[in-house]
Amino acid sequence: METIKIKQVRSAIKRPADQKATIIALGFRRLNQVVEKEVTPQIMGMVNKVKHLIQVVD
């Protein structure tokens, strides 16, 4: 399957609980961390929900 690399570029501090939970569910533990996920509708929905906190890396 196709994969996507995403990087957390902004902190989840002072964000709503659902956005914090989404960041954790995506596998982020610290700022500037890059994770690689398979492209599924569920993952893309999570990416869209916190798009202001992350960046898609090529």
CATH code, 41: 3.30.1390.20
Query: Which residues have C-beta within 8 Å of that of residue 12, sequence separation ≥ 6?
Result: 19, 20, 23, 53
Question: Does residue 3 surpass a pLDDT of 90?
Answer: yes
- Provide the domain limits for residue 36: 3-57
Q: Structurally, how many domains does the chain consist of?
A: 1
Q: Summarize pLDDT for 32-52 with one digit per residue, the tens.
A: 999 999 999 999 999 999 999
Q: Which pTM value belongs to this model?
A: 0.93
Strand ordering across the sheet containing 54-57 = 34-38, 3-8, 54-57
